[in-house]
Amino acid sequence: MKRLSLTRLMRLHKPSEFKQVFATGKKVQSKIFTIFYRLNKLSYPRLGMVIPRRHLSRAFDRNQIKRLVREEFRHRQKWLDGYDLVILSKQCISKSTYLEWASTLNYQWEYLIKDFNIE
């Protein structure tokens, strides 16, 4: 069985990479997250996250969301090949529970995968 991992290559690091996704990408919105995505001309997906301190003041909560996003991305990476994705949290994330974060994110991933297969 192939081990699913999230390598350094599969992350967006530079501000210019984030700007490209924000400027030329499409987006999927929910109450808690906005996911921006665009084709990247690579054979693997790349992930970036924007979870501002003003949305969640405790580092524990921000890191918990990042772990959740990375884990969900890792399990779906074979369906996301060739795309750059940026996950952006919204202000109301602080009023939501972990279960709401997970279910919302799961719904958005499924929507994206379905959209990618149609295109």
Give the per-residue pLDDT at 1.
43
Spatial CB neighbours of 99, under 8 Å, sequence gap ≥ 6? none
Q: Which two tokens stand for residue 102?
A: 């997970």
Spatial CB neighbours of 44, under 8 Å, sequence gap ≥ 6? 9, 10, 77, 81, 82
pLDDT greater than 80 at residue 107: yes
Mean pLDDT of the chain, nearest integer: 91
Residue 39 CA from chain centroid, whole number:
14
pLDDT in tens, 27-74: 999 999 999 999 999 999 999 999 999 999 999 999 999 999 999 999
Bigger pLDDT: 86 vs 77: 86
CATH of 8-118, one of 3.30.230.10, 3.40.50.11740, 2.170.150.70, 3.30.70.2740: 3.30.230.10
